[in-house]
């Protein structure tokens, strides 16, 4: 039985980001809507039980840029080129210095429109020129900073 006197908890609306605003590094909780531009299965490995594990790299784009999404198994089925998908609670991971968007068991990929009020409309165009996954990033530790030939140590 539901207690009607209990305070109602209102959930906050999901905040969606554009692909071009994503930054490298281990971040999580990204929600976005994008067009599937290209899907390429990079690994198909049979299991002992007869099923197989599939991993694909999917190029997802919106008006601001594009990014490679790593999709697994049933996620690949809805990632056909030309489809619009909604990605929720995704993480940015670095793979050999390049950004990848990863949807773990805590995230979700659905077809657009998904019937949820807070989901934004599909992108009006795609920008494949700004491919965030084609930029190689390097982690640089700033133990000291050089300015005009003088070596200045940062305070810790």
Predicted pLDDT at 83 = 96
**Which residues on adjacent β-strands are paired with residue 100?**
93
Domains parsed from the chain with CATH numbers: 19-153 (2.40.50.140)
Is 50 exceeded by the pLDDT of residue 130? Answer: yes
Q: In the prediction, which pLDDT does 152 show?
A: 45
Check if the beta carbon of residue 91 is closer than 8 Å to that of residue 30: yes
Q: Tell me the pLDDT tens digit for each residue of 67-121.
A: 999 999 999 999 999 999 999 999 999 999 999 999 988 999 999 988 888 899 9
The pLDDT tens digits for 44-65 are 999 999 889 999 999 999 999 9
Task: Give me the pLDDT at residue 154, please.
Answer: 44
pLDDT of residue 145: 54
Place of tokens 């773990």: 104
């Amino acid at each position: 039985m539901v207690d009607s006197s209990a305070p109602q908890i209102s959930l906050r609306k999901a905040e969606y980001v554009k692909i071009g605003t994503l930054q490298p590094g281990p971040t999580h909780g990204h929600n976005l809507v994008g067009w599937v531009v290209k899907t390429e299965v990079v690994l198909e490995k049979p299991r002992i039980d007869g099923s197989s594990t599939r991993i694909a790299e999917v190029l997802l784009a919106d008006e601001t840029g594009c990014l490679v999404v790593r999709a697994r198994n049933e996620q690949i089925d809805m990632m056909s080129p030309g489809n619009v998908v909604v990605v929720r609670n995704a993480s940015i991971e670095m793979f050999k210095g390049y950004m990848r968007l990863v949807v773990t068991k805590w995230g979700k990929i659905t077809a657009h429109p998904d019937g949820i009020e807070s989901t934004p409309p599909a992108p009006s165009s795609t920008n494949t020129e700004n491919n965030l996954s084609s930029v190689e990033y390097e982690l640089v530790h700033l133990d000291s900073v050089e300015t005009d030939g003088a070596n200045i140590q940062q305070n810790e």
